[in-house]
Amino acid sequence: MRPHSVPTLRGPWRRAVLIGFGIVAALGLLYLGARETPVFSLQTVEIQGAPPNVHRAVLQSLEETRGASLVALDGDAVVRRLEALPSVRSVSYDRAFPHTLRLVVVPERPVAVVNQASSLWVVSERGRVIGRTSAAEAPELPRVRYLPEAPLAAGEFLADEGTRSVLAALAEAPRRMPIPIHSARFEDGELTLVLAGEGETRPLLLLGEPDDVGTKLRVAALVMRKLSAEERAALAYLDVTLPDRPVASTNPLPSG
């Protein structure tokens, strides 16, 4: 058999192919030019969803990218850098040409101040250490004692499962508890919240095992709202271990 020859492009087809190659080459040159020229330089960063302290941390982290090409900007690297900030949970981004980078930031939600060997740390609902604080500057959040001896550091996650159970419970507490939560603990497999009662009183909120915590806390809030001011002042404990049968008492729990 005689070998078949490959037909050559003629006339309009040849011109179309050449034009196509020309367009691709032109686009490539335009892209390279956009990467290297200041036409699309990053000048403005718009941030949504971040409170002032997180807003400042994000801007500071991106300071060195200001003036860089928005075209060449590695968005995934920006996300990784910002999500490494202890106060940032997640980030999404969008390039708004010619000069703006838009960010939507989901901050870590602080739920407790953890006390480890007299050092105070603000911790998120996920168990992430947001940052160190002091007794004078600590936010009004429930206190949790942290017993493991390995020193904490901003950005890491607590390894202790009991403490993480406490934080998860605090995250489900209603925003406005009728009696604020003073502190919390996890002992012998059961959750106990210590409430900030009248004066120096510390009534206990007994949650039992760390299951169906949201329901238990909603029931507790409902019961506390139904108590009179006098009954709240005299409250010693509220047991919602069985949320369909809550027990409120003015008698302290027996020790031991």
Report all structural domains of the chain as residue ranges with CATH numbers, in order of start. Answer: 38-107 (3.10.20.310), 110-249 (3.40.50.11690)
Look at residue 172 and give its three-state secondary structure: helix
What pLDDT is recorded for position 3? 56
Q: Rounded to an integer, what distance in angstroms lies between the CA atom of residue 128 and that of residue 86?
A: 7
- Predicted structure pTM score: 0.82
What pairing do the DSSP bridges indicate for beta strands 100-107 and 129-133? unpaired
**C-alpha closest to that of 201 among 229, 182, 224:** 182
What pairing do the DSSP bridges indicate for beta strands 204-208 and 237-239? parallel
Q: Rounded to an integer, what distance in angstroms lies between the CA atom of residue 202 and that of residue 35?
A: 62
What pLDDT is recorded for position 200? 83
Q: Are 70 and 99 in contact (CB under 8 A)?
A: yes
- What the block records as the tokens of 54 is 């997180």
Burial of 207 (0-12, 13-18, 19+ CB in 10 A): buried
What pLDDT is recorded for position 60? 97
Count of Cβ atoms closer than 10 Å to residue 211 Cβ: 10
The pair phi, psi for residue 3, each rounded to 5°, is -65, 140
Residues lower than pLDDT 70 in the chain = 1-38, 255-256
Q: How many residues does the chain have?
A: 256
pLDDT digits (tens, 9 = 90+) for 26-38: 344 344 444 455 6
Q: Rounded to an integer, what distance in angstroms lies between the CA atom of residue 20 and that of residue 15?
A: 9
**C-alpha closest to that of 210 among 244, 246, 170:** 170
Q: Rounded to an integer, what distance in angstroms lies between the CA atom of residue 85 and that of residue 89?
A: 8
